A and B are shown apart, each in its own frame.
Chain A
Amino acid sequence: MSYLDLDNAQIIKDIGAIREDTRQELLSILTSFENGTCLILDNDFLLPLGLLVDKSELKELGVGKVFVFQDQDPKITQKNILFFIRPKKEVIEKVANYIKLNETNDTFSKKEFHIYFVPHKSFLCEKILEKQGVRGAVTINEFHFDLLNLDEDVFTLFLESSFQDYLSGDTTSLYFISSAINKLQGFFGMIPTVKYIGKNAKIVTDMLVRMGKDTHLDPSVQPKIHNLVVVDRMIDLITPMMIQLTYEGIIDELYEITNSYAEFEPKIIGKEGTKKEKYILNSNDVLFEELRDLNIGFVGEFLKQKARYIAEQYDQRHNLQEIRDISNFVHKLPGLQKEHFSLSIHLNILEDIFNKTQKTQKFQKYVNNQLGLVFEGNPVNEYVEEMMYTDESLVDVLRLLCLQSMVNNDFKGKVFDNFRKDIIQNYGFKHIFTLEKLAKLGMFQKRQTKGKGKMNFVQMKKILNLIDPNFDENKGISSVYSGYTPITARLIQKSIKSDGWKEIEEVLKQLTDGVYGEIAQQNAKSQNAPSENVVVQSDKKMVCFVFFVGGVTYSEISALRLLSQMEDSKYDFVVGTTQMINGKSLIESCFENYID
Chain B
Amino acid sequence: MDKLRMMFQFLQSNQESFMNGICGIMALASAQMYSAFEFSCPCIPEYNYSYGIGLLIIPPIWFFLLGFVLNNNVSVLAEEWRRPTGKRTKDPSILRYMFCSITQRSLIAPAVWVSVTLMDGKSFLCAFSINLDVDKFGNYSLIKGMSETEKIKLLAKIPCKDLFEHQEVRVAASRYIKCISQACGWMFLLMMTFTAFLIRAIRPCFTQAAFLKTKYWSHYIDIERKIFDETCKEHAKSFAKVCIYQYFENISGEMRNLHHHSSKDDSDYEDDDKRRNEEDKLLGIRVQDDMNKALCNWHICKPALALRKEQKNGENNDKLHREGGGAVNGLANGHTHNVEKKEWAVYYSKV
A and B: partners?
no
Give the A-binding residues of B (Cβ under 8 A): none
Give the B-binding residues of A (Cβ under 8 A): none
